[in-house]
Amino acid sequence: MDMTTDTRPIPPGSRVLEFTRDSFYNSTLIDHKSGEEVYSIESASGMPVKGMRITLLAIDDGRREEVTRVVKGAFLKSDKIAFRGGEPMKVKDWMKGKSFSDPRQLSKDMKVRRPTILVHHPLLTRTLISYIIAILSFAMLTIAFICSALLAAASPPPARDGVQRIALTRRQPELQNTSATAVLDWTSQQMNSTITKYETAFDAYSQNAGQPHPFAASDGSLNTAKRAVGTEVLQNDDGAIWIGGITIGTPGQSFTVGFDTASADVRVVNAACTSSDCLCHRSYDASASSTSVNRNLKFRESGSEAITGNVYADLVTVPATATLTATQNVGVLDSYPLSFGAYTTSVDGNLGMAFQSISAYNKLSFPQSLVAQRVITSPVFAFRLTTENGEVTLGGTDSAAYTGAITYVPVTNKSFWQINIDSIQANGRTTVVSRVPAIIDTASALIMGDWANVVRLYATIPGSKMISYGRYTVPCNSIPTITLTIGGTVFPINPALFNQGPVSEGSDQCVGGIVAIPRATTSSGSPGQPYWSIGDIFLQNVYSVFDLGQNRVGFATLAQ
């Protein structure tokens, strides 16, 4: 971002985006005279205040320019908030500790309608306007404090032993005290989002490898499974995903992305996208990066969303404030995927950490690029994920994050981080689930398993019952301890993590964190290979290690 004073005017009629670190307002320049610029704000979480320092991104006939302003005053025209932009300033002064919310978070209460004609409202007094400004300013400052705390939590810890450690933030709603349907709706959303992602990866694998993935179904039964569990999408839902900051390009363009071990691509939205979803998130402008190279490669993710985009090669730095940089092929999307919305409204994209074979455009994942370009000497990355915080380590492991030995098992298919699980038990009872393949997925909240095995597992839990398609409840006063045996080592799941909350307000039945998906079939009608997906409720109990050099996954006990 340009840190110098800017005196360039913005052409009248330009579309203008006001943006801070976390806030976008879609605005239109409606007046330009006497050195002042007046903008109408289409969607905002608060009114601009005199003295507020802002940065504007003007878009005029496809041309994009950044200018900076200090607000000289604010007023209302009809039902439209407008403000006067005054003298220019340095961007760095604005960036000190200022941030505001995504306007969609407060859209129900504060969204402003778009009038055909803007007319001055004669009944609004200076006192009323001051009162409105005070209320909205307080709301913005409150949100600014929260956003600043989240941004601070994502700052990287200092490197030790030549290994880069990246702090992650976990986004998930508190489900234990929610409405009667919120828990079930949320688990439906998580199942749908995960299945959609796998569906896209299966299609990519088929194109890249020239054969179907062993878990894939080519007759659409996976889509059937997704429809069967419901299609509820919760607005402003902080989906369970681990997020952190990266930059792309030169100078670096900042993004908040999900770190995902069950996908392979770095994906962000194209700055040319003008939909409301795109405008409310950071987007990638290839023309603003001196290191961007257009690969002239278009791609289409052939899952249910049919997302399209173009591939650019550019420098990707993780985390955003460190120096761990590699040249990476980036999927620049033409639209904002629904699957991103399942994470959180603050997610701008995702950083896939699996293998090239499930890349939508058949390119190395970011960890593979780090290894290939010798940015890291050890081809290993690892996750420490806890209820309070998380950390991903690139280039090795963090010996302070775990105790005892690491139990390793081989990757069975270089697509996902795919392993075999010896067995799954409840309360140490008779083993009914044994030798099942599984995908290790840091972007999935739940554990998902094939229908038959999940039914058998819950049958060993007293008081359990299926309440809806693939989901079960267990008595809240006797949450079971689920154990996974991997490589001969038993790893228990904390019952508090298995418990997703009461099925309804005041109920004594709680939703279990293991859900069933239908067994896929091939186009010939023969059964496909059943598999499991191991997500957050297990990964928060262990230190997990992903070894690209020896194609293996390891788990160890978390240090207290």
Q: What is the CATH number of the domain that holds 141?
A: 2.30.110
pTM of the model: 0.69
In a domain, 509, yes or no: yes
Look at residue 101 in the predicted model and tell me its pLDDT. 29
Q: Examine the fold and report which residue of 394, 418, 437 is the final residue of a domain before the chain moves on.
A: 394
Q: Are residue 382 and residue 501 in the same domain, yes or no?
A: no
**3-class DSSP assignment, residue 18:** strand
Q: Are residue 432 and residue 464 in the same domain, yes or no?
A: yes
DSSP-derived secondary structure for 76-136? EETTEEEEEE-S---HHHHTSS-----GGGGHHHHPPP--SS--B-TT--HHHHHHHHHHH
Look at residue 288 in the predicted model and tell me its pLDDT. 94
Q: Are residue 369 and residue 246 in the same domain, yes or no?
A: yes
Task: List the CATH number of the domain containing 524.
Answer: 2.40.70.10
Q: Are residue 321 and residue 418 in the same domain, yes or no?
A: no
In a domain, 2, yes or no: no
In a domain, 221, yes or no: no
Q: Examine the fold and report which residue of 378, 394, 410 is the final residue of a domain before the chain moves on.
A: 394
Catalytic residue among 441, 450, 536, 547: 441
Q: Are residue 177 and residue 256 in the same domain, yes or no?
A: yes
Q: In tens digits, what is the pLDDT along the chain, a chain of 560 residues?
A: 333 334 445 554 444 443 332 233 334 444 443 344 454 443 333 444 445 555 554 444 444 455 555 555 544 333 333 444 443 333 223 222 323 222 222 222 222 222 222 222 333 334 434 444 454 445 444 433 433 343 333 344 444 444 788 888 776 544 444 455 678 888 888 888 888 889 889 999 999 999 999 998 643 444 444 333 332 222 223 344 788 899 999 999 999 898 999 999 999 988 888 776 777 778 899 999 999 999 999 988 765 567 889 999 999 999 866 678 999 999 999 887 766 654 444 688 899 999 999 999 999 999 999 999 999 989 999 999 987 789 999 999 999 999 999 999 999 999 999 999 999 999 988 888 999 999 999 999 999 999 999 999 999 999 999 998 789 999 999 999 999 999 999 999 999 999 999 998 889 999 999 999 865 544 444 456 889 999 999 999 999 999 999 999 999 999 98
Q: Examine the fold and report which residue of 374, 394, 414 is the final residue of a domain before the chain moves on.
A: 394
Q: How far apart are CA 125 and CA 441, in angstroms?
A: 56
Check: CB of residue 59 under 8 Å from CB of residue 15.
yes
Residues whose CB falls within 8 Å of the CB of residue 442, separated by 6 or more in sequence, listed in order: 241, 242, 259, 260, 261, 262, 353, 383, 385, 535, 536, 539
Per the annotation, the verdict on 450 as an active-site residue is no
In a domain, 222, yes or no: no
Q: Are residue 437 and residue 342 in the same domain, yes or no?
A: no
Q: Are residue 300 and residue 409 in the same domain, yes or no?
A: no
Q: CA dist 521 to 231, 280, 301, 438, 514, Å? A: 22, 39, 22, 17, 22
Burial string for 22-31 (b: 16+ CB within 10 Å, else e) reads bbbbbbbbee
Q: Are residue 372 and residue 439 in the same domain, yes or no?
A: no
In a domain, 462, yes or no: yes
Label the pairing between strands 266-269 and 325-333.
parallel
Runs of H (alpha helix) within 154-305 = 182-209, 221-228, 276-279
Q: Are residue 410 and residue 375 in the same domain, yes or no?
A: no
Q: Are residue 351 and residue 379 in the same domain, yes or no?
A: yes
Q: At residue 174, what is the residue type?
A: E
Look at residue 427 in the predicted model and tell me its pLDDT. 92
Per the annotation, the verdict on 22 as an active-site residue is no
Q: Are residue 387 and residue 408 in the same domain, yes or no?
A: no
Which range of residues forms the domain containing residue 550?
A: 401-558
In a domain, 217, yes or no: no
Q: Are residue 454 and residue 492 in the same domain, yes or no?
A: yes
Catalytic residue among 22, 203, 237, 260: 260
In a domain, 472, yes or no: yes
As for how many domains the chain has, the answer is 3
Look at residue 442 in the predicted model and tell me its pLDDT. 95
Rounded to a whole number, what is the distance in angstroms from the first to the last CA of the chain? 41
In a domain, 212, yes or no: no
